[in-house]
Chain A
Amino acid sequence: MIKLLTLCTAILLAALPVRAEINIQEVTSKSGIKAWLVHEPSIPMIALNIGFQGASTTDPADKLGATYLMAGLLEEGAGDMDAIAFKRAAEELATSFGFDSSRERISISAEFLSENRDASVALLKAAITTPAFNDVAFTRTKAQVMSIIARNKSDPDELASGAFNELAFKGHAYARPYRGTAETMSALTQDDMRAAHARTMTKDRLFVGVVGDITADELAIMLDELFGDLPENGADLPTPITFQASGGTTVVDFDIPQSTAIWGHQGIHQKDPDFFAAYVMNRVLGGGGFTSRLTQEVREKRGLTYGVYSYMAGYDQADYYGGSVSSANERIGEAIEIIKQEWKRMADGGVTDAELEAAIKYMTGSYPLRFDGNGQIANLLTYSQMNDFPIDYPKNRNSYIEAVTKDDIARVAKRVLRPDDMRFVVVGRPVGVQTTD
């Protein structure tokens, strides 16, 4: 036993964290479209990740869900191809496309072989710039989205996040169901699709990450080819909003054996000077892994849950600090009490030296693991640009983490954690937990 532990300690002290050694270039096309590129020629393939910022937040109130449905139709035919022709063409090239839309981002991914690059790009261009929105595909896909909307009404996580957003961002685009409601979805028309396309998929909202077997010069040409025909400007993005809900509890009655709870209060922005101290603090509090305080207290010691997490979350125009937990109806009350205690304990006392050291070692050492595979890296490149990170962020990010001290965290914990402002939304039949207001 002694021998094993000594060896572990020696290794811990001796080894430095791996650095993320990826070389990111910014590429600008002739017409001024920008992308970030990692040239990785060892496999004859290219991964592309495209993001359009804003998405459903720009839907008019009576057209909720228009952008979500529109994004679902991008793979359902383009130019003179119907859905089958489009999909067959992709199959013949062995090219895979992914189209998704979340609250404020349309995400498009593509992976193709180098040898099929031009044909794949032509196909993708058609989907992005000339989607067909034809009758058959429109009717069918709308029915699929109606089914998703119906099903989400009995999904505890969806019920929780829906109620939470209504309270937290009252009156704002973030409070709305971004897939729409049964009423708004059923009223949408093909004209609404064209309008949603024109207001969301524009050059000023576009972010691109590319990884693989392509040079900067080749990419510059590809960018104009893919995006040159898009409109310049999209609809306005929403204005910033602070967290609207007060401290307290909201119970959403739903007949299930286990309650799901999410909570939150105002958070801080990623560009806030205290962000990294808060980020390291959150790792210790409940940021994942078996070692966090919340996991230790709620799961390991008491067996109250399978998973409990805290996170610094937010949208482009809102920041909140929150978390989630699920426990049997009879036990959720105890789980919530312990979470509140841990929130206060961290606000009052910060972290120990050992906790800080372990958190920094994990966060710096595991960072390179995120750069795993071309598709994953392309996604990170797009995400970084959308969050306005500098291009050297991956090189420097670990040094920001390493600079965080115990005193920083003690100060920031007091500032950021607001035990009295925690708003819990609980979905289920929780025993002994009531709505407070």
Chain B
Amino acid sequence: MSIKESFQMKLVSQAIAFLLFTISPAFAVGEVTTYTLDNGMQVVVLEDHRAPIVTHMVWYRVGSADEMPGKSGIAHYLEHLLFKGTDNLKSGEFSEIVAANGGTGNAFTSYDYTAYYQRVSADRLGLMMKIESDRMQNLKLTAEEVLPERDVIIEERNSRTDTNPNALFGEHRNALMYQNHGYGIPVIGWRHEIGQLTRDDAIDFYKKYYAPNNAILIVAGDVNPEQVLELANEHYGPRIPSDAIKTRVRAQEPPKRAPVHTIFEDPRVRQPYVIREYLAANRKTGDQTEAAALTIFAELLGGSGVTSFLGQRLQLQEKVALNVASWHSATSYDADTFGLYIVPAPDVTLQQAEDALDAALLSFLDQGVDQAHLDRIKTQIQASTIFELDDQESVARSYGEGLTTGLTVQDVQDWPKVLAAVTAKDVMNAARNVLDPKASVTGWIRAPKEAAK
């Protein structure tokens, strides 16, 4: 991470749900092969024969935004518990087998998905499938494992959130943005609810959502697609599909009727800043144009530091900002956000910073798109189709994220073309739509008593 990035990211990445902004989340790399097993499990194979290594991932179409009220954190808790025993493996043995085969692995949970992965020598793919498919349906949990793991998660929450005012601020703002939707609840869960989660909660969630017809297998690396299919049929084929898997229906947001403004104070804050998010269109199957326009808009507005619109104006000309940025979280199952922040220069108040930001946004809407900048972004999109060949794992993740947020393989492959087709007019239309004050949450973070100077 560069010095400039560490300046930006450390401050704010904990404060927003996602800052995994990339201009080009997925491209049709080398060879992509897809199948669906008889039990409904989707399979995606990405070939990269440069080294005899494979990444093996299973993604479930369930995340924290699918949790029952009062059970926040159960999706993530269950993810931890999947490393305990099954009918066939004793507790911890999963990780021992992966390690003893020279593999690394882990798992992650988000609002829309839960995923498990290993990286290992390509000749161990069958073994990874054997143990991963085992824990898809054979999990066995005992009380003596479940309780210490809940304490581990409390400590994880301590480390990630409770010791960090920026992360607490992010939680607070999300809760204000989403009045009815699960995106307003932290993935790791509210502390008071994590402490009440039980073994039965985990088992119920597991039985409801862990089935082949709710899962996607992604294999990337030095493999032959036919062999992958054969192995997948052998290991995942016997897993029994569940009738309980239905289209995901979540509580949606009511109409937004008024802007929200909040001031978050914490004595640990050393650098105050203003951050604002607007509810924004996400990528939808067969209809990614608006999300693509917003992604390009974010890049033009504040995606590239000093060459972006806000960077030039607020950092270089007006000198009111130490830093500015904008981003769009495009890949999500339900509407996500478009965000902006401004870190005021010394002696600039939060109010002055927010006012300068608002004035700059109006100017952008007034002036329109700088075509030369748009062209440079298009050049980078084009080039990233080549750079991505060198980063198989991120391509694998793009498929996983896409396919667990309602997109198809075709949508994922179309995305760079959709981005490349965005016009200046598309950007301006999307910008006018998204910058609706009524659908916004603006937050100030500062230390207490530091009255806005």
Q: Which A residues fall within an 8 A CB radius of B? A: 1, 4-5, 7-8, 11-12, 15, 17-18, 21, 40, 42-45, 47, 68, 71-72, 75, 83-84, 87-88, 91-94, 98-101, 111, 113, 136, 140, 143-148, 150-151, 153-154, 156, 255-258, 260, 289-291, 296, 299-307, 326-328, 357-358, 361-369, 371-375
Q: Are B53 and A18 in contact (CB under 8 A)?
A: yes
Tell me the complex Cα distance, A154–B270, Å: 7
Nearest CB of A to B267, in Å = 7
Residues on B with C-beta less than 8 A from A42 are 50
Residues on A with C-beta less than 8 A from B7 are 144-145, 147-148
B376 at interface, CB cutoff 8 A: yes
Nearest CB of A to B98, in Å = 9
Nearest CB of A to B196, in Å = 16
Residues on B with C-beta less than 8 A from A306 are 152-153, 155-156, 158-159
Tell me the complex Cα distance, A8–B102, Å: 13
Stretch in B89-97, B405-413, B433-441 touching the partner? B89-97
Closest B residue by C-beta to A362: B99
Q: Are B390 and A303 in contact (CB under 8 A)?
A: no
B346 at interface, CB cutoff 8 A: yes
Q: Are A361 and B130 in contact (CB under 8 A)?
A: no
Q: Are B379 and A91 in contact (CB under 8 A)?
A: yes
Residues on B with C-beta less than 8 A from A369 are 53, 102-104, 119-120
Nearest CB of A to B78, in Å = 16
Residues on B with C-beta less than 8 A from A83 are 306, 316
Residues on A with C-beta less than 8 A from B386 are 43-45, 113
Interchain Cβ contacts under 8 Å between A and B, 21 examples: A7-B127, A8-B127, A12-B101, A15-B124, A45-B387, A75-B4, A87-B306, A94-B379, A145-B7, A147-B270, A257-B163, A291-B92, A299-B148, A301-B148, A304-B155, A307-B159, A326-B159, A326-B163, A328-B154, A362-B102, A363-B102
- Of residues A144, A364, A371, which shows the largest number of chain B Cβ atoms within 10 Å of its Cβ? A144
B39 at interface, CB cutoff 8 A: no
Nearest CB of A to B420, in Å = 13
- What 1/0 mask marks residues of chain B from 294 to 331 whose CB sits below 8 Å from any chain A CB? 00000000001111000010011001001100000000
User: Given A4-B89, A87-B307, A326-B159 in contact, is the A98-B2 Cβ separation under 8 Å?
Assistant: yes
User: Given A136-B316, A148-B7, A305-B155 in contact, is the A94-B384 Cβ separation under 8 Å?
Assistant: yes
Nearest CB of B to A413, in Å = 21
Partner of A372, one of B51, B148, B163: B51
Closest A residue by C-beta to B312: A84
Q: Are B1 and A258 in contact (CB under 8 A)?
A: no
Residues on B with C-beta less than 8 A from A11 are 101, 124, 127
Closest A residue by C-beta to B157: A306
Q: Are B100 and A361 in contact (CB under 8 A)?
A: yes
User: Given A365-B103, A375-B390 in contact, is the A257-B322 Cβ separation under 8 Å?
Assistant: no
Q: Are A99 and B2 in contact (CB under 8 A)?
A: yes
Q: Which B residues fall within an 8 A CB radius of A? A: 1-7, 10-11, 50-53, 83, 87-89, 92, 95-97, 99-104, 119-121, 123-124, 127, 130-131, 134, 147-156, 158-159, 162-163, 165, 267-271, 304-307, 312, 315-316, 319, 322-323, 343, 345-346, 376-377, 379-380, 382-384, 386-387, 389-393
Nearest CB of A to B273, in Å = 10
Partner of A87, one of B3, B6, B88, B304: B304
Tell me the complex Cα distance, A367–B120, Å: 10
Residues on A with C-beta less than 8 A from B152 are 299, 303, 305-306
Q: Are B121 and A7 in contact (CB under 8 A)?
A: no
Tell me the complex Cα distance, A372–B2, Å: 20
Nearest CB of A to B274, in Å = 14
Closest A residue by C-beta to B121: A18
Nearest CB of A to B26, in Å = 16
Nearest CB of A to B175, in Å = 20
Tell me the complex Cα distance, A373–B119, Å: 14
Tell me the complex Cα distance, A140–B344, Å: 12
Tell me the complex Cα distance, A11–B97, Å: 10
Q: Are A326 and B155 in contact (CB under 8 A)?
A: yes
User: Given A98-B2, A306-B156 in contact, is the A88-B376 Cβ separation under 8 Å?
Assistant: yes
Partner of A43, one of B83, B120, B149, B390: B390
User: Given A11-B124, A365-B103 in contact, is the A71-B3 Cβ separation under 8 Å?
Assistant: yes
Tell me the complex Cα distance, A7–B89, Å: 13
Nearest CB of B to A367, in Å = 8
Tell me the complex Cα distance, A366–B103, Å: 6
Closest A residue by C-beta to B394: A373
Q: Are B268 and A154 in contact (CB under 8 A)?
A: yes
Q: Are B102 and A366 in contact (CB under 8 A)?
A: yes
User: Given A258-B163, A328-B154 in contact, is the A4-B88 Cβ separation under 8 Å?
Assistant: yes
Tell me the complex Cα distance, A15–B100, Å: 11
Tell me the complex Cα distance, A113–B383, Å: 8
Residues on B with C-beta less than 8 A from A328 are 154-155, 158
Tell me the complex Cα distance, A44–B269, Å: 46
Tell me the complex Cα distance, A1–B130, Å: 12
Partner of A17, one of B10, B102, B127, B345: B102
- Of residues A302, A305, A363, which shows the largest number of chain B Cβ atoms within 10 Å of its Cβ? A305
User: Given A17-B121, A84-B307, A256-B163 in contact, is the A144-B101 Cβ separation under 8 Å?
Assistant: no
Closest B residue by C-beta to A68: B3
Tell me the complex Cα distance, A4–B134, Å: 10
Q: Are B270 and A361 in contact (CB under 8 A)?
A: no
Q: Are A111 and B50 in contact (CB under 8 A)?
A: no
Tell me the complex Cα distance, A327–B62, Å: 30
Partner of B305, one of A87, A290, A366: A87
